[in-house]
């Protein structure tokens, strides 16, 4: 359970995303390219045009404005949508909120700007040049953040799984059992155990060759000591190793009649409420 809580808890963490370099280096390049792409005028000519500086001002304003929007948006997406169970909704949010909505908004602002400087829309390159460039830039920024969040998430997942494994080491099951035969005590390997049985309030270990030894414990405690893939508690009297089960038959009452090896002194049944669990356990490798 701790492993699950560690992974789920990462969703609430404030991930340390280092994106200042995007604001310092990427966004200025994007703003300058947005003004110069498709502009055939020499740079010396552009420097004499007042519209060049208003174009730069608009490009930088839009780029950094959407940059701040992206920063908040992607952190919100990361908090809102789990990487393991909500990846589809995460990607759809990137598509609609991170690409389509900003591209349409920027295009609308560009069209409004053209109307202010008296450039007819039909004479502009908004739809066949600016809009594709804006979409491309939005896609690249979304990919940048998606990769950064994904990288940090994968690192935190590895650390948390390692921590969970350290705090919850794999349980070690009992491989040898100390039994008594008169005044003599010795160990029996799990591989030599056929089943444990309760008889007149005493627990006995029965070996694969049919020998019975007194075992100082209860079936309930033994059930917590042994591997659940190797042993199954058939009923209140028998805890059996899978290798001791020869066959089983369904009775008219839907109970299961179990054939044990070595044979038990009386019929051994599995209740109908545990029948499905027993057959599922028996089919495990």
Question: Per residue in 55-89, pLDDT tens?
Answer: 999 999 999 999 999 999 999 999 999 888 889 99
pLDDT digit string (tens) for 212-222?
A: 999 989 999 99
- The stretch 241-270 carries a mean pLDDT of 94
Query: 43: how many CB neighbours lie within 10 A of its CB?
Result: 9
Our CA angle for 97, 100, 106, nearest 5°, is: 100
pLDDT for residue 161 is more than 80:
no
pLDDT for residue 113 is more than 60:
yes
CB neighbour list of residue 249: distance below 8 Å, 6 or more residues apart: 256, 257, 259
Supply the DSSP string of 233-273, one letter for each residue. Answer: E-SSSEEEEGGGEEEEEE-TTS-EEEEESSPPSS-EEE-HH
Q: What pTM did the predictor assign? A: 0.54
pLDDT for residue 246 is more than 80:
yes
pLDDT for residue 13 is more than 50:
no
Residue 15: band (very low, low, confident or very high) from pLDDT cuts 50, 70, 90:
low
- With beta carbons less than 8 A apart as the criterion, state whether 107 and 130 touch: yes
* Tokens 């039909």 -> residue: 122
pLDDT for residue 111 is more than 50:
yes
Query: Fold for domain 176-283?
Result: OB fold (Dihydrolipoamide Acetyltransferase, E2P) (2.40.50)
Return the closest-CA partner of residue 203 out of 241, 239, 242, 243: 239
d(C-alpha 207, C-alpha 34), whole Å? 82
Please tell me the predicted confidence (pLDDT) of residue 166: 66
Residue 3: band (very low, low, confident or very high) from pLDDT cuts 50, 70, 90:
very low
- The stretch 254-264 carries a mean pLDDT of 94
Residue 122: band (very low, low, confident or very high) from pLDDT cuts 50, 70, 90:
confident
């Amino acid at each position: 359970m701790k492993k699950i809580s560690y992974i789920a808890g990462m969703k609430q963490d404030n991930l340390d995303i280092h994106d200042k370099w995007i604001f310092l280096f990427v966004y200025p390049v994007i703003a300058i390219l947005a003004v110069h792409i498709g502009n055939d005028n020499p740079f010396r000519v552009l420097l004499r045009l007042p519209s060049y500086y208003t174009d730069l001002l608009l490009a930088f304003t839009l780029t950094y404005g959407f940059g701040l929007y992206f920063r908040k948006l992607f952190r919100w997406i990361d908090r809102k949508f789990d990487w393991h169970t909500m990846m589809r909704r995460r990607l759809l949010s990137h598509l609609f909120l991170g690409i389509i909505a900003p591209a349409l908004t920027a295009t609308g602002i560009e069209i409004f700007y053209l109307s202010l400087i008296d450039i007819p829309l039909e004479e502009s390159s908004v739809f066949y040049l600016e809009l594709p460039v804006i979409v491309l830039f939005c896609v690249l920024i979304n990919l940048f953040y998606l990769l950064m969040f994904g990288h940090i998430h994968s690192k935190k997942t590895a650390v948390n799984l390692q921590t969970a494994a350290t705090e919850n080491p794999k349980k070690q099951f009992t491989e040898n059992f100390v039994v008594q035969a008169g005044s003599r005590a010795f160990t029996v390997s799990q591989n030599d155990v056929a089943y444990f049985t309760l008889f007149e309030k005493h627990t006995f270990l029965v070996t694969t060759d049919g020998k019975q030894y007194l075992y100082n414990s209860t079936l309930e405690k033994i059930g917590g000591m042994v591997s659940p893939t190797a042993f199954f508690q058939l009923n209140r009297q028998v805890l059996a190793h899978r290798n001791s089960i020869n066959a089983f038959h369904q009775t008219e009452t839907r109970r299961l009649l179990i054939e044990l090896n070595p044979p038990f002194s009386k019929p051994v049944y599995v209740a109908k409420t545990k029948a499905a669990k027993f057959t599922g356990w028996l089919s495990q490798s």
